[in-house]
Chains A and B, each alone.
Chain A
Amino acid sequence: EDQVTQSPEALRLQEGESSSLNCSYTVSGLRGLFWYRQDPGKGPEFLFTLYSAGEEKEKERLKATLTKKESFLHITAPKPEDSATYLCAVQMGTGNQFYFGTGTSLTVIP
């Protein structure tokens, strides 16, 4: 059973066209939800950590929000350099592992 599901799998936006990426999770005892950006052939780059429902974090054109069952990554007025795969991960219970989704591949067209 998938514990972290991301949608859509791929998203193409025109430069300046705002949108949202979704990460839904089916875990109990959430300790943290994490967003990462990954460029092709590179390691994931840390963006945000969210710990409790209602929490929001912002960084430049990105804003992450968290509810009890899902998280959204809002991208406002994206630029071509925002093109990447965005990964969501959760940490739960007493375990040490992060459970990753398969990511959303974002392409921003000039």
Chain B
Amino acid sequence: ETGVTQSPTHLIKTRGQQVTLRCSSQSGHNTVSWYQQALGQGPQFIFQYYREEENGRGNFPPRFSGLQFPNYSSELNVNALELDDSALYLCASSFRLAGNTGELFFGEGSRLTVL
């Protein structure tokens, strides 16, 4: 069984740039959620994708966007990067059944630094 994989593991961007983070779901999972974790904080929900559509969004501006592909992999795009976007970005996959997200299984994260 293949776990959740994320790329890249680390990246550095400058303010105003755009970034794309990628995630491959765990085998058998059909739902992908993205979370942002600032240093010393718990993960904060960005959004969830199910059946290639956004299915729930946290308190993040529209410059945070995403995609889910037919193979259940996903991308997180962030435009017009700000210094406060520096964080660990976590992708989590799960098996959604009867409207229930189920347990989240996380990847190792992508550490984004915005200068």
Contacts and interface: CB of A to CB of B under 8 A. Distances in A.
A binds B: yes
Interface of A: 4, 31, 34, 36, 41-46, 49, 87, 89, 91, 94-103
B85 interface: no
Given A34-B104, A101-B42, 6 more contacts: A4-B42, A41-B109, A43-B92, A43-B106, A89-B42, A97-B33
B43 A44 contact: yes
B105 interface: yes
Contacts of A36: 106
A103 B104 contact: no
27 contacts: A4-B42, A31-B100, A34-B103, A41-B88, A41-B109, A42-B109, A43-B6, A43-B90, A43-B106, A44-B106, A46-B105, A87-B42, A87-B43, A91-B101, A95-B56, A96-B33, A96-B48, A96-B55, A96-B56, A96-B101, A97-B56, A98-B33, A98-B104, A100-B35, A101-B42, A102-B40, A103-B42
A43 B103 contact: no
Contacts, number: 61
B104 A46 contact: yes
B41 A102 contact: yes
